[in-house]
């Protein structure tokens, strides 16, 4: 599933990760200003120029729809249109800012952390997190299908059945998968204190990554100035 | 000369249990030896493997006494990550172990953990992937179950340890894939490696094995009469009366086409399943047998062709809940379909009355487990429950996806016997996907071989057995 967010030429992982954090942090700090929309549009353009246009469209659309819904709710509860625009803006920001992070292949991420001699616990945590998102999505899809085969797919008059038929298998699968994954990592030699793990295909910082980082930085500064 | 594996006076029990899985057991594995560990589910084969590779007691707790030596070194107090320098382990459920998107990266993961030089990793990865016929740049997401199993095995082989432990590595592998792996392991033992394999598909494994072991009452015993064991294992299920045709068609497919990506997986499929008939779908890993099964069950829609069913009058293209009562679908992994608090409740979901639920429990050997939580059962018991829970709804047609994976002889007999009884009582038709030769006589009236997106050949049960033994299907 995360392959959808990948570019043909991936970013240097720390750059992608830090730019995502920067965009999110700065954006949230100025989320009550309308200039945020300009910031989001400029970020989307920058990311698209670096091969992430599909991811930007997908994430933007998804979070945009979510933002519309939550924005309406926020407007109704707060009683002001400003609340709608702020909520929508934050949701769009979350979607677009996450794109550089989501675009990082798990292998590149792990290798760059190893090259930087990061603690094994951090590498493990990020590896499992990256792995788990598509796994979770796949499992939810599978369970929803299985619910249909047991007649619990649309038993709206029996919410307890739907609840059980979804959450019990999901919980068991998550537990089973996390067990299997941790066993597999250990039996394949992964050790938390192993800072000398080699790197099959080293990940290197290039001029593209520098341009990307500087671009994100300039846009963030501009937001601060204009807001 | 140092032994590859040596176990001295090993005892083990799980927390809170008085029963000892291993009771002062001794075992040795020599370099150059290909050993098979067989036996019924729940005896402790995977537990023994866990003790050898360090998973137990460091990740899975328990009370352990005794000594474990790997490559002549005392590894009793070393964790799994440290023991990985001596011994490689291939676990079950490859799907849950893959961490990277590309096959080459996955294969290199273990080598990186062992601090091997990058230039050496490249050569090892290429060699192991080539050996098990996985393209290095394939996306792990789109590999079939059998291909994923081969990938995980290749990843372990790339690590280059001289001792290998494999826990049911042939599950999901077709005959060609299984023989490829077994020959690779045999070649490694000829080069001086030691292999310990846990497997139920003895018909495939025994011709390659140098020794066979069983766990009995906490001891690890060498089996003296291997030919007898093979004969006992080969045909576990007696043949039942074949359906000779004539029943009305329940499901008909005409020129069905299905293309999940750019290349069609199913190009031109035409077949029908009649009342009371038992159809077996055969084919190599990745050829589309499970996809075809799901399509027949209406879990996915074809991209072209005509689909007709006479089980239920249905409006609309989406299958209703009533459809899945009439046409049951049993997943390979029962965990997806079990969600009630007890076995009794699970069976009662679809059963027309409680008495029938109890009858299903008797048929599938679950009577003593009625008050247990489904997810607290052993894997073999869960699988039987998964099948029973679907069949409790008295479907006229059942789709079974690899119902025999990981099943020992006893469980297989129970499942086969129950399916035969229900078929005689209800006239239920079945469509099964499996590579397991042990089931041919009991689960097959007609075998269909899927290849290159079409039904390439058809045959009867004995021909299916021959196919799984390496001959053409229609011979």
Q: Domain limits of chain A?
A: 11-105+206-226, 120-187
* Chain position carrying tokens 């474990």: B68
Question: Which pLDDT score, from 0 to 100, does residue A182 have?
Answer: 84
CA A106/CA A85 separation, integer angstroms = 35
Residues of chain B positioned with their CB less than 8 A from the CB of A1: 141
Characterize the bridge pairing of strands B211-216 and B219-222.
antiparallel
Task: Using a CB–CB cutoff of 8 Å, tell me whether A225 touches chain B.
Answer: no
Q: What is the mean pLDDT of residues B338-366?
A: 94
Please report, for residues A48, A201, B109, B156, B178, the alpha-carbon distance to residue B112 in angstroms, rounded to integers and kept in the order given: 33, 10, 5, 12, 27
Question: Which pLDDT score, from 0 to 100, does residue A12 have?
Answer: 92
Does the pLDDT value for residue B236 go beyond 80?
no
3-state secondary structure of A143: helix
Characterize the bridge pairing of strands B429-433 and B278-283.
parallel
CB–CB contact A188 B101 (8 Å): no
Ranges of H-type helices in B66-117: 80-83, 103-113
Which B residues 122-181 touch A at CB under 8 Å? 122, 125, 139, 141, 152, 155-156, 159
Question: Which pLDDT score, from 0 to 100, does residue B92 have?
Answer: 80
pLDDT tens, N- to C-terminus, chain A (227 residues): 566 777 788 899 999 989 999 999 999 999 888 899 999 999 999 999 999 988 899 889 989 999 999 999 998 888 888 889 999 999 999 999 999 988 888 888 889 988 988 888 888 888 777 777 777 888 999 999 999 999 887 666 677 788 889 999 999 998 888 888 888 888 998 887 777 788 888 999 999 999 999 999 999 999 999 88
Please report, for residues A121, A166, B144, B157, B437, the alpha-carbon distance to residue B110 in angstroms, rounded to integers and kept in the order given: 17, 35, 22, 9, 34
Q: What tens digit of pLDDT does each residue of B90-125 get? A: 988 788 888 898 999 999 999 999 999 999 999 999
Cut 0.90: pTM above it: no
Residues of chain B positioned with their CB less than 8 A from the CB of A120: none
pLDDT band at B77 (very low <50, low <70, confident <90, very high): very high
> In what helix (H) or strand (E) does residue A224 lie, and over which residues does it extend?
helix A207-226
Does the pLDDT value for residue B316 go beyond 80?
no
Task: Using a CB–CB cutoff of 8 Å, tell me whether A118 touches chain B.
Answer: no
With 0-12 CB in 10 A as exposed, 13-18 as middle and 19+ as buried, what is A52? buried
Question: Which pLDDT score, from 0 to 100, does residue B245 have?
Answer: 54
Closest chain A residue to the Cα of B59, Cα to Cα? A183
pLDDT band at B246 (very low <50, low <70, confident <90, very high): low
Characterize the bridge pairing of strands B194-198 and B163-167.
parallel
Question: Which pLDDT score, from 0 to 100, does residue B258 have?
Answer: 94
CA B135/CA A44 separation, integer angstroms = 35
CB atoms under 10 Å from CB of B200, counted, come to 26
For A187, which of B89, B299, B328 is closest by C-beta distance?
B89
Residues of chain B positioned with their CB less than 8 A from the CB of A153: 321
CA B395/CA B323 separation, integer angstroms = 9
With 0-12 CB in 10 A as exposed, 13-18 as middle and 19+ as buried, what is B172? buried
Question: Which pLDDT score, from 0 to 100, does residue B469 have?
Answer: 66
Q: What tens digit of pLDDT does each residue of B404-447 get? A: 877 777 778 888 889 989 988 888 999 999 877 767 667 788 98
pLDDT band at B298 (very low <50, low <70, confident <90, very high): very high
Residues of chain A positioned with their CB less than 8 A from the CB of B337: 146, 149-150, 169
* Residues in chain B, overall count: 475
Question: Which pLDDT score, from 0 to 100, does residue A71 have?
Answer: 92
Long-range contacts of B447-451 (CB under 8 A, 24+ apart): B447/B279, B447/B280, B447/B281, B447/B282, B447/B473, B448/B271, B448/B279, B448/B280, B448/B281, B448/B282, B449/B282, B449/B283, B449/B473, B450/B269, B450/B281, B450/B282, B450/B283, B450/B287, B450/B288, B450/B289, B450/B292, B451/B283, B451/B284, B451/B287
Q: What single string gives the DSSP state of each residue in B240-254?
A: -PPP-S-SPEEEEEE
pLDDT band at B233 (very low <50, low <70, confident <90, very high): low
* Span of A97-101, B29-33, B243-247, B325-329 with lowest mean pLDDT: B243-247
Highest mean pLDDT range out of A150-164, B256-270, B453-467?
B256-270
Residues of chain A positioned with their CB less than 8 A from the CB of B93: 176, 180
Output the average pLDDT for chain B.
88
Cis check: omega of the bond before B57, within 30 degrees of 0: yes
Question: Which pLDDT score, from 0 to 100, does residue A1 have?
Answer: 58
Question: Which pLDDT score, from 0 to 100, does residue A196 have?
Answer: 77
Does the pLDDT value for residue B239 go beyond 70?
no
pLDDT band at B170 (very low <50, low <70, confident <90, very high): confident
Which A residues 16-75 touch B at CB under 8 Å? none
Question: Which pLDDT score, from 0 to 100, does residue B404 have?
Answer: 81
Task: Using a CB–CB cutoff of 8 Å, tell me whether A129 touches chain B.
Answer: no
For A107, which of B102, B319, B340 is closest by C-beta distance?
B102
Q: What is the mean pLDDT of residues B299-325?
A: 87
For B101, which of A106, A143, A164 is closest by C-beta distance?
A106
Residues of chain B positioned with their CB less than 8 A from the CB of A142: 336
Task: Using a CB–CB cutoff of 8 Å, tell me whether A200 touches chain B.
Answer: yes
Does the pLDDT value for residue B81 go beyond 80?
yes
Q: For helices A53-78 and A81-102, give the axis angle rounded to 10 degrees.
A: 150
Question: Which pLDDT score, from 0 to 100, does residue B308 have?
Answer: 92
CB proximity list for B87: less than 8 A, separation 6 or greater = B5, B52, B53, B70, B71, B161, B163, B164, B165
Q: What is the mean pLDDT of residues B455-473?
A: 75
Highest mean pLDDT range out of B239-253, B430-444, B458-472?
B430-444
With 0-12 CB in 10 A as exposed, 13-18 as middle and 19+ as buried, what is B107? buried
Residue B244 in tokens: 């000779």
């Amino acid at each position: 599933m995360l392959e959808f967010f990948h570019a043909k030429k991936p970013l240097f992982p720390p750059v992608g990760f830090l730019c995502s954090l920067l965009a999110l942090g700065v954006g949230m700090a100025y989320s009550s200003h309308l200039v945020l929309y300009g910031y989001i549009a400029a970020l989307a353009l920058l990311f698209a120029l670096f091969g992430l246009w599909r991811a930007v469209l997908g994430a933007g659309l998804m979070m945009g729809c979510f933002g519309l819904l939550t924005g309406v709710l926020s407007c109704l509860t707060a009683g002001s249109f400003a609340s709608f625009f702020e909520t929508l803006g934050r949701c769009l920001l979350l979607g677009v800012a996450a794109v550089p992070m989501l675009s990082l292949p798990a292998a590149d991420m792990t290798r760059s952390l190893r090259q930087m001699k990061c603690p094994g616990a951090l590498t493990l945590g990020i590896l499992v997190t990256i792995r788990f998102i598509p796994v979770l999505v796949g499992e939810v899809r599978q369970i929803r299908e299985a619910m249909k085969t047991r007649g619990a797919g649309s038993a709206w008059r029996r919410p307890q059945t739907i609840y059980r038929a979804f959450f019990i298998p999901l919980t068991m699968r998550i537990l089973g998968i996390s067990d299997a994954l941790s066993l597999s990592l250990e039996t394949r030699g992964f050790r938390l204190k192993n800072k000398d793990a080699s790197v099959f295909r080293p990940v290197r910082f290039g001029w593209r990554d520098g341009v990307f980082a500087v671009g994100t930085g300039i846009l963030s500064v501009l937001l601060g100035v204009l807001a | 000369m140092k032994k590859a594996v040596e176990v001295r006076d090993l005892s083990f029990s799980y927390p809170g249990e008085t029963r000892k899985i291993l009771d002062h057991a001794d075992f040795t594995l020599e370099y150059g030896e290909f050993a098979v560990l067989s036996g019924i589910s729940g005896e402790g084969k995977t537990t023994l493997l866990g003790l050898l590779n360090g998973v137990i007691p460091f990740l899975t707790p328990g009370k352990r006494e005794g000594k474990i030596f790997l490559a002549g070194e005392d590894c009793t107090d070393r964790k799994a990550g440290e023991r990985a320098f001596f011994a490689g382990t291939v676990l079950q459920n490859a799907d849950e172990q893959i961490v990277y998107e590309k096959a080459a990266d996955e294969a290199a993961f273990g080598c990186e953990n062992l601090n091997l030089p990058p230039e050496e990793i490249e050569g090892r990865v290429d060699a192991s992937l080539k050996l098990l016929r996985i393209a290095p740049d394939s996306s792990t997401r789109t590999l079939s179950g059998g291909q994923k199993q081969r990938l995980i095995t290749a990843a372990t082989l790339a690590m280059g340890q001289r001792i290998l432990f494999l826990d049911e590595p042939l599950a999901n592998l077709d005959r060609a894939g299984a023989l490829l792996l077994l020959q690779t392991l045999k070649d490694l033992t000829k080069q001086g490696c030691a292999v310990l394999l846990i497997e139920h598909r003895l018909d495939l494994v025994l011709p390659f094995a140098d020794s066979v072991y069983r766990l009995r009452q906490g001891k690890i015993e060498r089996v003296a009469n291997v030919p007898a064991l093979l004969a006992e294992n080969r045909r576990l299920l007696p043949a039942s009366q074949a359906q000779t045709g004539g029943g009305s068609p329940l499901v008909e497919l005409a020129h069905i086409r299905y293309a999940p990506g750019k290349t069609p997986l199913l190009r031109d499929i035409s077949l029908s399943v009649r009342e009371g008939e038992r159809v077996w779908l055969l084919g190599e890993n990745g050829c589309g047998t499970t996809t075809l099964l799901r399509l027949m069950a209406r879990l996915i829609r074809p991209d072209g062709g005509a689909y007709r069913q006479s089980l239920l009058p249905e409006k609309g293209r989406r299958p209703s809940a009533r459809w899945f009562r009439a046409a049951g679908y049993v997943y390979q992994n029962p965990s997806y379909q079990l969600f009630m608090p007890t076995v009794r409740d699970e069976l009662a979901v679809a059963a027309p009355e409680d008495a029938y639920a109890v009858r299903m429990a008797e048929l599938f050997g679950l009577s003593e487990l009625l008050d247990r939580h489904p997810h607290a059962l052993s894997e073999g018991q869960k699988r039987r429950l998964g099948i029973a829970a679907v069949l409790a709804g008295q479907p006229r047609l059942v789709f079974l996806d690899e119902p025999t994976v990981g099943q020992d002889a006893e469980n297989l007999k129970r499942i086969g016997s129950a399916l035969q009884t229900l078929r005689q009582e209800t006239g239920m038709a079945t469509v099964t996907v499996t590579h397991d030769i042990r089931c041919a006589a009991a689960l097959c009236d007609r075998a269909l071989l899927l290849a290159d997106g079409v039904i390439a050949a058809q045959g009867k049960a004995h021909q299916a057995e021959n196919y799984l033994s390496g001959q053409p299907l229609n011979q």
